[in-house]
Structure 1
Amino acid sequence: MTSSSSKTSGNPIFPGWYADPEARIFEGNYWIYPTYSAPYEQQAFFDAFYSKDLVEWTKVENILKMADISWAWRAMWAPSPIERGGKYYYYFAANDIQSDDELGGIGVAVADKPEGPFRDAIGRPLIDKFHHGAQPIDPHVYIDDDGSAYLYYGGWGHCNVVKLNEDMISLDTFEDGEVYKEVTPELFVEGPCMIKRGGSYYFMWAEGGWGQPDYSVAYAISSSPIGPFERVGKILQQNPDIATSAGHHGMIQIPGEDEWYIVYHRRPLTETDRNHRAVCIDRMFFNEDGTIQPVQITFEGVQARPIQE
């Protein structure tokens, strides 16, 4: 696919109600892995989208279906995939458990290609209990420069991080003996996300209520992937002239460049149904002191940015 340099993606970047987008670069393509945004009973599958240039997107349907996860029965959402050792590991939330007595939590699937099809990797949830008060939802996987793999997750105002073993389907232990380490920043609600820039760790999360106009994203900066994370401020929120409920995002860094894009969902002004969420993309800029400039949400989106191969 080719696009002229003057063409932009527009926002939303593809049709349909989708939310909670995770953004990656796999095999020379930009990929977005969202939640299918619908009542829980209808959230029974995942689609994905890929692009060469951030402007033209191609949909891949049913990369993972609830029918292929033996323990999932109510809903699946908030996917986060990553590649390791030539395989693709896909973390997701299912069943929206309300206590340790219920079956569900965070699962992990695996595939040989970024478009799947994904299959259940362990036949049960990877994380299925409440630890430090964190509901086991909204996983986000991050591999550090030294190869250490971390999975951030949480809801109900608490965030945990766990280390993953090399196999990416079992949990490691931190040096202090902990398996589940609480890293909750001020005002955390859900939707954690981690990036690294210039040796600093930028931890981000969603604030407010996902069905409310005030849904937003804030961040912290740390010298360690496990914090402490001291809240700096909001970087993404509604614009009453454009859209509301802007939150739960993923990040794209252009390889080898200090060029960043934030992929997120928001609710069009024409919509009142809380499930009517659409995936958008805008540029994100850093200040000279390393802080993040508030993102300006747009209707235009971003210009074509082909991946250099």
Structure 2
Amino acid sequence: MRDYHVLSVPLTSFPPSSAKLDAVKTHGPVLTLADVPWASKQLWAPDAASKNGKYYLYFPARDKEGLFRIGVAVSEKPEGPFVAEKEAIKGSFSIDPCVFVDDGVGYGNGEGKNEAYLLFGGLWGGEMQCYSRVSSFSSTEEEQQQAKWIFDPSKLGPQEPSGPTTLAIHPKIAQLTPDMLSFTSPPRDLVILNSSGNPIMADDHEKRFFEASWLHKYNGKYYFSYSTGDTHYIVYAVGESPWGPFRYRGRILEPVSGWTTHHSIVEVKGRWWIFYHDCELSKGVDHLRSVRGREIGYDEKGDIYLVD
């Protein structure tokens, strides 16, 4: 993409429908590639949040060396315009940022209130398979978390680890500084376990993380959802902390027309919704995507289901 646009819908007209399309307002481009000093091309899927009375837009783009980094742009209003920081966030890499501001309920006795986190990562074109850490077996957990991520260009392209004893690559998470502009420490792995509590394996393409991180909270629990990529599912896992670990719970969306159903989950006026994209209107043209929305609910165990 070359720019980002913001659409708004009055709460009185939510949820939007074909009968209410006149209520949807476009605010035009709020940030363009030319507005980002450090980027060379390819603005990809962004996310935004509000804190400190300002709005923060997090976005991936290729830097001057052609690698994906994540940047941040700031605005006084949700409809922009947004002003990009001069440099990408130090220590960032890969794609698909999700920003999460915690309400503090259920974690750390409320100590985590208003703390913000950035979750990100994507395989294949998202380059996450190219990054690994250098640490020794004698390192403490803290030393391992502080270890630098090393880039290996030989792993670029549509490839990822495989094999019956190989663990899946984890998405990444980093806490944001109070000003929302940088990381408090290097990103770390966000561990996803299977329903038995064991790490998900690389060959399990129906459960392993591919891209499209999303974190939301329900009843004090943290719900991490993501795309499985080449198997085209949106699945989710649940944890007790934004740092994880998260235990796999199931699927939310089955495959749709298009790749890869990047989504978000939000509460609006007491009802929960999943928004995603597909290529149904363009008859399968993958780069011509339309926004879709479905209402979701939670059963007595906290499992997610689609509302008919």
* TM-score with structure 1 setting the length: 0.70
Show the 5 A alignment for 1:176-187. 179-185=186-192, 186=200, 187=208
> Residue in 2 aligned with 1:68?
35
> What letter corresponds to residue 170 of structure 1 in structure 2?
S
2:226 paired residue among 179, 200, 205: 205
> What letter corresponds to residue 84 of structure 2 in structure 1?
D
Contact 1:71-1:104 within 8 A present in 2 as well: no
CA shift in 2, pair 1:67/1:271, >3 Å: same
> Residue in 2 aligned with 1:218?
235
Distance 1:283 1:141 in 2: 22
Contact 1:103-1:128 within 8 A present in 2 as well: no
Contact 1:71-1:124 within 8 A present in 2 as well: yes
| Matched position secondary structure for 2:34 | helix
| TM-fit CA distance, 1:215 | 2.0
1:249 paired residue among 250, 254, 263: 263
Distance 2:7 2:63 in 1: 25
> What letter corresponds to residue 233 of structure 2 in structure 1?
S
1:106 paired residue among 70, 73, 76: 70
Distance 2:265 2:68 in 1: 27
Q: Percent identity?
A: 33
CA shift in 2, pair 1:127/1:249, >3 Å: farther
> Residue in 2 aligned with 1:45?
3
| Matched position secondary structure for 1:265 | strand
| TM-fit CA distance, 1:86 | 1.1
> Residue in 2 aligned with 1:193?
214
> Residue in 2 aligned with 1:29?
none
| Matched position secondary structure for 1:168 | coil
Q: Can you give the 5+ residue segments of structure 1 that lack an aligned partner in the other structure?
A: 1-42, 131-135, 174-178, 297-309
| TM-fit CA distance, 1:184 | 4.2
| Matched position secondary structure for 1:227 | coil
Distance 1:78 1:244 in 2: 15
Distance 2:239 2:253 in 1: 19
1:78 paired residue among 34, 45, 58: 45
> Residue in 1 aligned with 2:280?
268
| Matched position secondary structure for 2:283 | coil
Structure with higher Rg: it is 2
Report how many aligned residue pairs link the two structures. Answer: 231
Contact 2:31-2:82 within 8 A present in 1 as well: yes
Deviation larger for 260-269 or 82-91: 260-269
Distance 2:63 2:252 in 1: 28
Distance 1:79 1:64 in 2: 11
> Residue in 2 aligned with 1:87?
54
| TM-fit CA distance, 1:102 | 4.2
| TM-fit CA distance, 1:129 | 5.3
> Residue in 2 aligned with 1:169?
181
Please tell me whether residue 153 in structure 1 is matched to residue 148 in structure 2: no
| Matched position secondary structure for 1:77 | coil
Q: Can you give the 5+ residue segments of structure 2 that lack an aligned partner in the other structure?
A: 17-22, 104-112, 124-168, 193-199, 201-207
> Residue in 2 aligned with 1:227?
244
> Residue in 1 aligned with 2:82?
118
Distance 1:245 1:129 in 2: 24
Distance 1:115 1:270 in 2: 27
| Matched position secondary structure for 2:81 | coil
* TM-score with structure 2 setting the length: 0.70
CA shift in 2, pair 1:269/1:63, >3 Å: closer
Distance 1:111 1:295 in 2: 35
Distance 1:71 1:270 in 2: 33
Structure with the bigger RCO (C-alpha within 8 Å, sep 6+) is 1
Higher relative helix content: 2
| Matched position secondary structure for 1:290 | coil
| TM-fit CA distance, 1:189 | 0.3
RMSD, matched Cα: 2.1
Contact 2:90-2:182 within 8 A present in 1 as well: no
